[in-house]
Chains A and B, each alone.
Chain A
Amino acid sequence: MPSSRCLLRLPHPPSSLLAAPIAPHTSTSLRHAAPFSASASQCMPAPAKKKGVTFGGPPARGTKALRIKKTVRQSTARPPAPGERRALRKRIVLSNTNALEVAGLRDATLDSLVDEAMVGKVVGLPGQVVDSLRVVEAFKVHQGWGLFRRPACLVRKETVEIGRVVAEAEEQKTTRRVVLCGERNSGKSVLLLQGLAGAFMRGWVVLNFPEAKDLTIGHTAYSPIPNTTPTQYAQRTYTANLLSQISKANASVLSALQITQSHDLPMPLQRNLTLDRLCELGARDPDIAWPIFQALWKELTAPGRPPVFMALDGLAHVMRLSAYLAPDTKPIHAHDLALVNHFVEYLSGQKQLGNGGVVMAAVSESNQPRTPALEHAPRRKQPESFLEHQLRQLKHWNPYVKGDERVIKALDGVEVLRLKGLSREEARGVMEYYAASGMLRNTVTEGFVSEKWSLAGQGIVGELERAAVRLRV
């Protein structure tokens, strides 16, 4: 028989029997009240358990075993106002009061930018040109303008080439189309800036897209333009801002020009309205910015107007699909954005500037989006950008490589200016300028120049600046 069953069968003894053996040890007074207890303390009720705290074992579900008070940091600083951090990030510093004034630094003139004798010399940018360049956002944050007393740049071989292109376009009233390529930090954006500076000095009308990325990453308002096939999209806020820049930067030129053409605009125009006032009208009201831009362009391309310089930095961003979506949720090709289309029409040579001019674009090597065609491109022996590759391939396009037809057409026949490192003479010139500014303490000798020139990947100008001025050991 199993023991459990045996126990179950065991009859319970009557309570009188159990109490009987203990009772005789207790006093007679307690016998009826508490037959099990001998002392008063044992009679007291057990202390109440603390809620939520358990001893010897894991905590109950949902409760924390260890509670540590977090240190709360009390910030006394004022939080940045809206737009403050952006303003700080985009701040352009063009002067360093600690740098020395360079004795004998001459301002750039029209001649100095086309004169081969000036190659290797540093020239300052005239104050008015600096103001205009600042308005069109030609100075970039990462460039070293803030290291020296005043904005100045080196005249290099390519600067003279660009200067000649501009001069020829003015003389012959032709449209020159140039794409600047080259390694990272090789001075493409600064060369573009020199082109802009030359155009400002010549009294041209300048239109600059400082960052092509801003046009295509879907950060500004867009809307379809009715009656266009394929549908084009206007970016009203961006256009209004662009008009404001055009009006401020070219005020001296545009204020002398009045409207002569008839325009189909939503509001009537004053008869002797100047072109800078026309731009301001568009800048004030984004709703009419695009029609005003078109009106401005019609005026500028009319006979007898000054030549136009159009520039764009970061070309690869406008040579692909944009981040905007069409109503059918398909991505919009960057060339379908009205402003981009405007630029590309002139870059591709589809349209000509009536009074002559230059359309110039620079490739960015540090911020270049990947393009499907790039991945299909064959292995390249030397580092070159996708655009360069495409440009080289235009004549013998491999039919098995997937390429964007519109991009290929847009870049057909453009002049490509590939920037390489500075020559030793140019490097010496710029390093002497560093030394004269007090930013380089070493004596500029042949050996020193050679050393830095080699360190900078055979004279890549941005690296040269880094090696000589920024990284001072």
Chain B
Amino acid sequence: MVLLLGVNFSEQRLVKRALETFYGIGPSVSTRIMARFSIHPTAKIRDLENKHITDLTAELTGMRIENDLRRQLRENITRLRDMGSYRGRRHAMGLPVRGQRTRTQIQTARKLNRIERRG
């Protein structure tokens, strides 16, 4: 098991997939990070050297990911709501924000749009 940013990953796991488990890291960001530290695309956690692990942890620590990113998202929505904008109101009401029709098909908005959005 290898610890990356306080999370344990098994040795067999792909480094790319391990990075993408963090909120805020998707395929392109993980590719960029791995290219930066010269980790090949099919590398597994067990292939990483100690230098790679410290580099990755330092890089991830400096990035706005996980709770920091979630907080930023919530702050953005709260700001919209506080200034009384239409988008803020729609978020608060749990309705689509970007002009979609509301007659049908608004499950996603109902699920996600709220002031205290999960992420």
User: Does chain A have a CB within 8 A of B36?
Assistant: yes
A219, A223, A326: most-surrounded residue (chain B CB, <10 A): A223
- Contacting residues, chain A, for B35 (C-beta < 8 A): 325-329
Residues of A within 8 A of B40 (CB): 218-222, 324
- Alpha-carbon gap, A370 to B39, bound state (A): 26
Query: Is B41 interfacial (CB 8 A cutoff)?
Result: yes
Please give the distance in Å from B14's CB to the nearest CB on chain A: 12
Q: Are A218 and B47 in contact (CB under 8 A)?
A: no
Q: Mark A313-325, 1 if CB is under 8 A from B, else 0.
A: 0000000000111
Known: A325-B31, A329-B32. A223 touches B38 (CB 8 A): yes
Contact A218–B42 (Cβ < 8 Å): yes
Q: How far is the CB of A414 from chain B (nearest CB, A)?
A: 30
Kindly identify which residue among A218, A223, A327, A328 contacts B41, using a CB–CB cutoff of 8 Å: A218
B63: Cβ under 8 A from any A Cβ:
no
Asked if A224 CB lies within 8 Å of chain B CBs, one says: yes
User: B43 an interface residue at 8 Å Cβ cutoff?
Assistant: yes
User: Which of A222, A233, A325, A328 counts the most chain B CB atoms within 10 A?
Assistant: A325
Summed over the interface, the residue pairs from A and B with CB atoms below 8 Å come to a total of 31
Which residue in B31, B41, B43, B47 is a CB contact (below 8 Å) of A329?
A: B31
Give the CA-CA distance A220 to B47 in the complex, in Å: 10
CB distance from B63 to the nearest CB of A (A): 16
Main SS at interface, chain A: loop
List residues of chain A with CB within 8 A of the CB of B34.
325
Q: In the bound complex, what is the Cα–Cα distance between A325 and B43 (angstroms)?
A: 13
Known: A329-B32, A329-B35. A323 touches B47 (CB 8 A): no
Question: A323 and B41: CB pair below 8 A?
Answer: yes
| B residues in contact with A220, CB < 8 Å | 40
Q: How large is the interface on B (under 10, 10 to 19, 20 to 34, 35 or more residues)?
A: 10 to 19
On chain B, the residues within 8 Å of A328 by CB distance are 35
Can you give 19 A-B contacts (C-beta < 8 A)? Answer: A218-B41, A218-B42, A219-B42, A221-B39, A221-B40, A221-B43, A222-B40, A223-B38, A224-B38, A233-B38, A324-B40, A325-B31, A325-B35, A327-B35, A327-B37, A327-B38, A328-B35, A329-B31, A329-B35
User: Once the chains bind, are A222 and B41 in contact (CB under 8 Å)?
Assistant: no
A462 smallest CB distance to B (angstroms): 31
Q: Which residues of A contact B38 (CB under 8 A)?
A: 222-224, 233, 327
Min distance, Cβ A224 to any Cβ of chain B, angstroms: 6
Residues of B within 8 A of A219 (CB): 40, 42
Bound complex: CA A325 to CA B34 (Å): 9
Q: Which residue of A lies closest to B36 (CB)?
A: A327
Q: Using Cβ atoms and an 8 Å threshold, which residues of chain A touch B37?
A: 327
Which chain B residues lie closer than 8 Å to A224 at the CB level?
38
Residues of B within 8 A of A325 (CB): 31, 34-35, 41
Additional A-B contact list (19), CB under 8 Å, known A221-B39, A327-B37: A218-B40, A218-B41, A218-B42, A219-B40, A219-B42, A220-B40, A222-B38, A222-B40, A223-B38, A224-B38, A323-B41, A324-B40, A325-B31, A325-B41, A326-B35, A327-B36, A328-B35, A329-B31, A329-B32
Report the bound CA distance from A218 to B39 in whole Å: 9
Give complex CA distance A73, B47 in Å: 36
Chain B residue nearest to A82 (CB atoms) is B12
B41: A residues at CB distance < 8 A = 218, 323, 325
Complex CA–CA separation, A222 to B38 (angstroms): 6
Which A residues are CB-close (under 8 A) to B32?
Answer: 329
